[in-house]
Structure 1
Amino acid sequence: MKAYAKAAVEVESGVKYVKKNCLAGQEPNTLPEAQGHGRWWLGAVCNVRVHGTVHERPVDRLEREREHLRPLAGSPFVYRPRLRRRVYLDFTVRWNDNFYEVPMAYAGKLVHCQEVGDELSVVSDNREIARHRLLEGIGHTSPLPGHKEGLYRAAYPSHLPYQREAFLRAFPEHERFVEGCVKRLRGNAAYHLHKVRELLGEWDQATLDVALEQVTLMGAYHVRAVRQACRRAAALPPPAPAQPARVLHLPEVELRSLEVYADHVR
Structure 2
Amino acid sequence: MKEWCKVMHTTTRRIPEEAFREEKECLLPLPAKRFVRVQPEPRKVSPDSLISVKGNKYSVPVAYVGKTVKCRIVYGYKLLIYDKKDHFIDYYELRRGNHEVTRNDLHYKEIQTKVPKSIPEIRRRFVTTFERGAEYLEKSASVIEQSSYHARQILKLQELYTISILNQILGYCIDHNIYTIDGIKEILKNKSLEILVESMGREVAAATTENPGLTRALSYYGGVNFECESSNG
Rg bigger for which structure? 1
Q: Which has the higher contact order (CA 8 A, sep 6+)?
A: 2
| Short-chain TM bin | 0.3 to 0.5
Structure with the larger helix share: 2
TM-score of the aligned structures, taking structure 2 as reference length = 0.35
